[in-house]
Amino acid sequence: MVTARALVSVPLSDAIETADQRIALHCVSWKDFERFIAMRGERSVPRIAYLEGELELMSPSRIHEQIKSIIGRLVEAWAEEMELPLWPIGSWLVKQREKKSGIEPDECYVLGGRNDGEVPDLAIEVVWTSGGLDKLEIYRRLRIHEVWFWKKGAISVHLLAPRGYVQAERSALLPALDLALLAKLLEHDDLLEAKRRIRASARSSKRKRKTKTRRRAQER
């Protein structure tokens, strides 16, 4: 069984076997892009990204998929403990013809109602193998307000601003979530223990929030 620790500790000799497989196609019309989507059908791979006639087809490695799945499980455990209506939508294909852009995140979420929004509130990307299209530009065109990138054991947050994305220390959608802890727990050998720890972090955040609320009420 591959443990969570193995996700961020792969020998160089295994680099080719564990790399994501990418194919780049050029001068692809929007009609051809949609034709390819129809041909792929309901299959989850290859994952698609499209920008201005450039089409990237990516078959994620097992390790890539494992990282994104564990991130998702921990985020969902935290949100459940916080009693937040965070709906997972997986690799939702988001596309807009007029923006000449389309993408399937590794994971994405909507906060609120199950069917709220035409695009996700949060998209998560795992950068396991370098290269490929400028995904932030695709997300900017699609008006995705928050994007996380996991890369080399750290999670970076990008928030949409009038002139593009700005990097932030914390999530705007989930501001109480300790992203450093989340990234650290990906190295844990025991997934159940990692989930217990992220839930404990959520309970601590709830207690602090309640304490602040009481103090504000007493000051009035």
Q: Is 19 part of a structural domain of the chain?
A: no
DSSP 18-62: HSPEEEEE-S--HHHHHHHHHHHTT---SEEEEETTEEEEEE--H
Would you say residue 176 has pLDDT above 50? yes
**Residues 173 and 146 sit within 8 Å (Cβ to Cβ):** yes
Note the pLDDT tens digit of each residue in 182-212. 999 999 999 999 999 999 999 999 998 877 7
Q: Exposure of 136 by Cβ count < 10 A (0-12 exposed, 13-18 middle, 19+ buried)? A: middle
Q: How many CB atoms lie within 10 A of CB 211?
A: 10
Q: Is 161 part of a structural domain of the chain?
A: yes
Confidence of residue 72 (pLDDT cuts 50, 70, 90): very high
Q: Is 51 part of a structural domain of the chain?
A: no
Q: Is 181 part of a structural domain of the chain?
A: yes
Mean pLDDT of the chain: 89
**Residues 58 and 21 sit within 8 Å (Cβ to Cβ):** yes
CA gap 38, 120 in Å, rounded: 22
Q: Is 171 part of a structural domain of the chain?
A: yes
**Residues 186 and 153 sit within 8 Å (Cβ to Cβ):** yes
Identify which has the larger pLDDT, 13 or 187. Answer: 187
Overall average pLDDT of the 57-81 stretch: 95
Q: Is 9 part of a structural domain of the chain?
A: no
Would you say residue 68 has pLDDT above 90? yes
Would you say residue 25 has pLDDT above 70? yes
Q: Is 203 part of a structural domain of the chain?
A: yes
Q: What is the pLDDT of residue 18?
A: 64
* Buried b or exposed e, range 147-168, using 16+ CB within 10 angstroms: bbbbeeeebbbbebeeeebeee
Identify which has the larger pLDDT, 4 or 116. Answer: 116
- Number of domains making up the chain: 1
Would you say residue 9 has pLDDT above 50? no
What global pTM score does this model have? 0.86
Find the CATH number of the domain harbouring 172.
Answer: 3.90.1570
Q: What is the pLDDT of residue 16?
A: 46
Find the domain containing 200 and state its range: 61-219
Q: Is 49 part of a structural domain of the chain?
A: no
Would you say residue 45 has pLDDT above 90? no
Identify which has the larger pLDDT, 129 or 145. Answer: 145
Contact residues for 60 (Cβ-Cβ < 8 A; gap 6+): 20, 45, 47, 68, 106, 126, 128
Note the pLDDT tens digit of each residue in 110-138. 999 887 888 999 999 999 887 679 999 99
